[in-house]
Amino acid sequence: MEPERTDHATKQRAVFSLTSPHLFSIVVAIFTFPIILSSLPVADYGKWQFVLALQAWAITLSAPQITSGSKRGLSLGQDGTFFFALFKRGTFMLFPSAMFLLLGTFFLCSEKTEFGLLCFVSSFYLFFNILLQESIADFLIAKKSFVAHGIWSVLTSPVARIGSSMVAFFTQSIVLFSLFQVGYAFLVSLVGLAVLIRMNGLWEQFKRKHYDVSCFRFGIRSMPIDALGALSSRLIDILIGILFGLSSLAYFSVARDLRNQIVSIFKISFPLLYADFAKQPLDQLTSLVKKRMPRMIATSTLLGGLGLLAGVGYITLFLPKEFLSVIPLFAILSLAFPVGIPTIVLSTVLQSHLRYRAIAIATSIPNLFEIMLISLLGWLNGIPGMVLAIALYGYISFLFFYLAVIKRESFKKVLEQRKLLRTLMEIY
């Protein structure tokens, strides 16, 4: 009985360590969002969101799944995988970073000064915010260092948000707002990296070649799928910004950010699940997930409904009045909440076992549907149509992840009968 009690207490501490930073992040976002939106011009906030969309596309060129895939080797004790993955992805990161420097120069020469400066900021943001911070977070997840992961999450997100909101309040400058985030990320990342190396002997493990090289292959193979995913997820930003203006993009971004705050509640359990899933046989894991699927859908629906009510109240009471137009967009995005938790769990099953083919199919086909839906519904009904396409994509994504995990054998047979899909499976 004593070992069971100890294991239960350990899991309780882990859950608390995971939920606390997320909840703190949500509270910080609630208080800082009105400050940011009331301090910055709406069009300027739209500019930053437009640059972030370009950044999301550029990140795919850095093979982001290299660091994500390193969690498997790290969870199995191959600690040199940290630097192996960091250096491999860092090499790929040079190209998108250089692209932003060139893009910034182009905007400056075109007398679009703010766009140019934001692109310069993004060039450094890719290294210090994306590469280093994600690598450290993945290491802590793999090692089940949930308390340390919680502290890291607080330092890299809520604290940065508090600081940047104060910069926005006192300067009303979108450039200084973004510049603070990069400067803060630089300092925190260097300190975090130094502590991690000192406490875990990571460099010695790397020099002894005690690492898992499969994460590199996983990252390379995942690049086309990552690119397709970024294209589909950020296509709407580019279209709204170009066709309907940067202010419209700002309004949509607020609706999506509120949706993401609610989805972050769904993702609380992800770090806890990954390390456990990686050590369980896939068949046993699949059976467990299938058994608990109705409960996951019910929980996701309940939490999503509460989040919808809370979001509408928040927009009405706390955001500037011009953002009341965000409510219909937020309500449309909320239609996909019932499949939020199930999709995350199914995706974690595939990621934890590095199932290249299954991940490729379960992400690429829904992404293609999303691109087509955004184009078609956007043409028919403008911004509301494009937002509805995102909600429909949530259900399509759930369906394919369900087939790839729960019905994988029969799903595989169907795919093998289709020439195009068979070709895709052979690649991955």
Note whether 148 and 276 are same-domain residues: no
**Domain assignment of residue 19, given as a range:** 1-212
- What's the pLDDT tens digit per position in 271-282? 566 666 766 777
Note whether 347 and 426 are same-domain residues: yes
Note whether 24 and 169 are same-domain residues: yes
pLDDT category of residue 237 using cuts at 50, 70 and 90 = very high
Q: How far are the Cα atoms of 158, 174, 253, 292, 385 from residue 184, in angstroms, in the given order?
A: 12, 16, 23, 42, 38
Can you give the pLDDT at residue 269? 60
Counted domains in the chain: 2
Note whether 133 and 228 are same-domain residues: no
- The residue from 212, 240, 261 where one domain ends is 212
Q: Which two tokens stand for residue 369?
A: 């549907």
Note whether 273 and 161 are same-domain residues: no
Across 3-7, 20-24, 264-268, the highest mean pLDDT is recorded for: 20-24
Comparison of pLDDT for 284 and 338, the residue scoring more: 338
Comparison of pLDDT for 78 and 12, the residue scoring more: 78
- What's the pLDDT tens digit per position in 366-390? 999 999 999 999 999 999 999 999 9
Comparison of pLDDT for 266 and 212, the residue scoring more: 212
Note whether 221 and 208 are same-domain residues: no
Note whether 297 and 380 are same-domain residues: yes
- What's the pLDDT tens digit per position in 393-425? 999 999 999 988 887 777 776 666 655 455 555
- What's the pLDDT tens digit per position in 130-153? 888 888 988 888 887 877 878 888
pLDDT category of residue 165 using cuts at 50, 70 and 90 = very high
User: d(Cα 274, Cα 276) in Å, to the nearest integer?
Assistant: 5
SS3 at position 327: helix
In the chain, what percentage of residues exceed pLDDT 70? 88
Can you give the pLDDT at residue 358? 76
CA-closest candidate to residue 219, choices 369, 127, 91, 124: 91
Note whether 159 and 271 are same-domain residues: no
Can you give the pLDDT at residue 226? 84
- The residue from 212, 227, 256 where one domain ends is 212
Note whether 261 and 358 are same-domain residues: yes
DSSP, res 211: S
Note whether 207 and 267 are same-domain residues: no
CA-closest candidate to residue 240, choices 397, 38, 43, 99: 43
Note whether 281 and 315 are same-domain residues: yes
The set of residues, in sequence order, having a beta carbon less than 8 Å from that of 212 and lying 6+ positions away, is 70, 72, 73, 74, 76, 78, 81, 84
Q: CA 274, 275, 276 angle in degrees (round to 5)? A: 90
- Beta strand spans in 34-170 (E): none
pLDDT category of residue 11 using cuts at 50, 70 and 90 = low
